[in-house]
Structure 1
Amino acid sequence: MSLSAYAEPKEAQRLEPNGLRLLAALEAMAEVGAQPDGSICRRGFSPEDRQGRELLGRWLREAGLSVRVDAAGNLIARREGLEPSLPALVTGSHLDTVPTGGRYDGTLGVIAGLEVLRCLQESNHPLRHPLELVVFADEESTMVGCKGMTGRASADPAAYATSNGESIERNLARIGGDWAHLASANRSDHAIAAFVELHVEQGGVLEQRQHDIGVVQGVVGQRRFTIRVNGQANHAGTTPMDERQDALVAASHVVLAVQQLAALHPGDPVATVGKLEVWPNAANVVPGEVVMSVDLRDLSADVLSGLEGDLRQRLSEVEARSGCRVLIEPQFEVKPTPAAPALMQTIADCAAHLGYSASPLPSRASHDAQEMGRRWPMGMIFVPSHRGLSHSAAEYTSLEQCLAGTSVLLASLLKLDQDLNPG
């Protein structure tokens, strides 16, 4: 759809998010789990998480919306449409945080969805499709909510590493979920028309570009490995340099190789050595073993495969030069999830129509949209993160930026309501 084809109905021209109400809701939610250092702690299933969900549920019911919790612990508000047989338009994100989280990560997408629903309710503006707001359960740890909704949740309780160390069965019960009936959270293919998530970027690209809106191209895939470099521990004083099998020296070449792979490889990948363990880790001993993590991310599965192949080749070269044995062990793989082109175009058109600058970019962090996009058409809207900071008390997105994202979300949902499933 071209921008020239954008035709907003007269009724929609009067629909604008209420900035003061949006700010008040963001501020009220930030008080739930507030820490002395200014960060927010609402770990999944914690009392603070439950308090935040209860607060949001109260706001939704006060707006005249039906609210339920599915077996996967997702809190779902629904506004019926004029054509109840149509699949739902869905928006949402999460309210749980990391231990020292910020006030916008996840929360903005939820509060913006609340504001969209409030705006529609107070104006009595009808939609053809039902509209749902979902607060996904435990995004920061198990992602049981979005995986349950998409039918990709493991049936093995041991597969869930919860932040409080308690069983997934007990945790789900705390928030109204039901482990015994987890499969019932799986929505049918025809239940959802599209999913659109508003989120802070959690990076500095939009701020660097000086753009208001990010049109997310998709959520990158990840491949993570453990690399073990085995040398020979020996006396640091008595072992000549040319007779050493120094595992740390060999590992340093691996670290540089990982950096070079991402910098030189076609596409726009990132590669990180984030964890390093040295044995015996003593000042007077030549290191005998190093264990490190390698994290590869890109939007293209082909690029990831190319990176992995090149990494394995580089490791063989390091092994041959150093005399150390270099082993690579896959840890996990998450496939990339591209955004639906039609939703990207809708978001871009709506941003332009509203006068906001916008540009495409990938999401290199995981989101609920990554799982939702494996089943249904998915789009994501990013707004800038000041200095690219997130998962910290320093996380900041201005009210104007939050309002811009909410406006684009509202306009996109209105446009999708017109365009999808034409009668």
Structure 2
Amino acid sequence: MLIHRSQIAPADADREWLGALPRRDRLIDSLESMAAIGLQGDGSVCRRGFSPADVQGRDQLACWMQEAGMQVRVDAAGNLIGRLEGQDPSLPVLMTGSHLDTVPTGGRFDGVLGVLAGLECVRALSDVGRRLRHPLEVVAFADEESTMVGCKGMAGTASMDPSAYTTSNGDPIDINLERIGGHWSSLPSAARPDSAVAAFLELHVEQGAVLEQRRDAIGIVEGIVGQRRFSIHVKGQANHAGTTPMGLRHDALAAASRIVLAVEEMARCHPGDPVATVGRLEVWPNAANVVPGSVSMTVDIRDLDSTVLDQLVSCLQEELESIGLATGCAIRLEPQFQVSPTPADALVMATIETVAEDLGLSMSRLPSRASHDAQEIGRRWPMGMIFVPSREGLSHSAAEFTSDSQCLSGTAVLLHTLEQLDRVLS
């Protein structure tokens, strides 16, 4: 039974949740305890995948899972999985989770909130002696910030080529997996059958400022964007900056500057809401008195619609041809990688929306423009993501902040969405 909006005031940090609901003190204590593992002097958190701090965090989570009555195991892809059996163990699992690993100067909420919120859902159900019809699994996926070997392994999309994995510590993937209880040679065994999962839910901090600007408590993620990333190489002619007249120059940096503006303009002017970014420039010879002879740059293009991505790439190619002709520079576009979009499941999104409304929480829909474990899991099974606000959109830093009440609101939405899906899914 869902709690009525009259029973909750999410903006009031002193208001207690009523009924079979997550407990604020327990959730926040868990978040603070995990943040202490890998805590740095500047307030950031460093739990790189496969590091001693990562192992320590996983060990702590496994202990909490066992105390909550869950069966705990690590699969071949290094995923730490806690399972609470359901009333009907023949049903496919309802799954939730995220990751514990961080970037070098990570925050206290990215990834870890989704894992510990899932644990709190299990604890809240246990508080009232309830089990879902479906088995419920909480997963801490392995190494989300670097290789994503965990979610790819479970989805069956992981490469068996060790060279395909660039790890943060530089060690081979097989050695790293052994450190956390995985097993490289058995990696294919981590893939679940199609019938194994009923739905996957991931709670995550937004890592952007959209919800804060909209003053919404909950974000219903429409999907995780696809990415197209390219290198662009501009070849001009290096020459003396003082003796080369403007009309006789083939200035690679001037051409690159036009490309930067063209990339920005094509995203701004395209219907919908794509994003495109020039993130890196390398100029040669990079001297004050030399006309630049060559520039290498990266372009990152993201959108939820593959057709839009195709249109933007086509537009970029046309712009590069035009700029090359206008500047007399040779311009080469070189693909780096391509990631397909992963749409969220319509039923899961609608259920999140219904739950948030019943709890009296303001909400809106938005895409996720960052990658998450849900991106790979959602390629195989119905997927949904719940966002809670990030103050000023800051993430991957010590300044990352989501309030206690916002974390609790997101966890309540997660719990009741799982309960609702448990009722309607077979």
TM-score (norm 1): 0.97
Number of residue pairs matched? Answer: 414
- Paired letter, 2:64: W
Q: Aligned pair 1:28/2:52, yes or no?
A: no
- Paired letter, 2:192: R
| 1:273 counterpart residue number | 278
| 2:124 counterpart residue number | 119
Q: Aligned pair 1:192/2:222, yes or no?
A: no
Shift of 1:296: 0.1
In the alignment, the residues of structure 2 paired with residue 79 and residue 191 of structure 1 have an alpha-carbon distance, to the nearest angstrom, of 15
| 1:335 counterpart residue number | 340
RMSD: 1.2
Shift of 1:316: 0.6
Equivalent residues in 2 for 1:46-125, closer than 5 Å: 46-125=51-130
In the alignment, the residues of structure 1 paired with residue 131 and residue 109 of structure 2 have an alpha-carbon distance, to the nearest angstrom, of 29
Shift of 1:8: 4.2
Shift of 1:19: 0.4
Q: Aligned pair 1:213/2:218, yes or no?
A: yes
| 1:148 counterpart residue number | 153
| 1:256 counterpart residue number | 261
TM-score (norm 2): 0.96
In the alignment, the residues of structure 1 paired with residue 303 and residue 66 of structure 2 have an alpha-carbon distance, to the nearest angstrom, of 41
In the alignment, the residues of structure 2 paired with residue 314 and residue 145 of structure 1 have an alpha-carbon distance, to the nearest angstrom, of 39
Residue-by-residue CA offset, 1:11-68 (whole Å, 9 max, x unaligned) = xx82110001001000000000000000000000000000000001111111111100
| 1:284 counterpart residue number | 289
Residue 43 of structure 1 aligns to a residue whose secondary structure is coil
Residue 216 of structure 1 aligns to a residue whose secondary structure is strand
Percentage of matched positions with identical amino acids: 64
- Paired letter, 1:213: I
- Paired letter, 2:143: D
1:43 to 43, 48, 56: 48
1:170 to 166, 170, 175: 175
2:407 to 393, 402, 407: 402
| 1:302 counterpart residue number | 307
In the alignment, the residues of structure 2 paired with residue 291 and residue 182 of structure 1 have an alpha-carbon distance, to the nearest angstrom, of 37
| 1:17 counterpart residue number | 22
Residue-by-residue CA offset, 1:255-308 (whole Å, 9 max, x unaligned) = 000000110011110000000000000111100000000000000000000000
| 1:373 counterpart residue number | 378
Shift of 1:9: 9.5
Residue 146 of structure 2 aligns to a residue whose secondary structure is coil
- Paired letter, 1:278: V
Q: Any unmatched runs of 5+ in structure 1?
A: 1-6
Shift of 1:122: 2.4
In the alignment, the residues of structure 2 paired with residue 353 and residue 120 of structure 1 have an alpha-carbon distance, to the nearest angstrom, of 19
1:312 to 313, 317, 338: 317
Q: Which runs of 4+ in 1 moved over 4 A?
A: 7-10
Residue 380 of structure 1 aligns to a residue whose secondary structure is strand
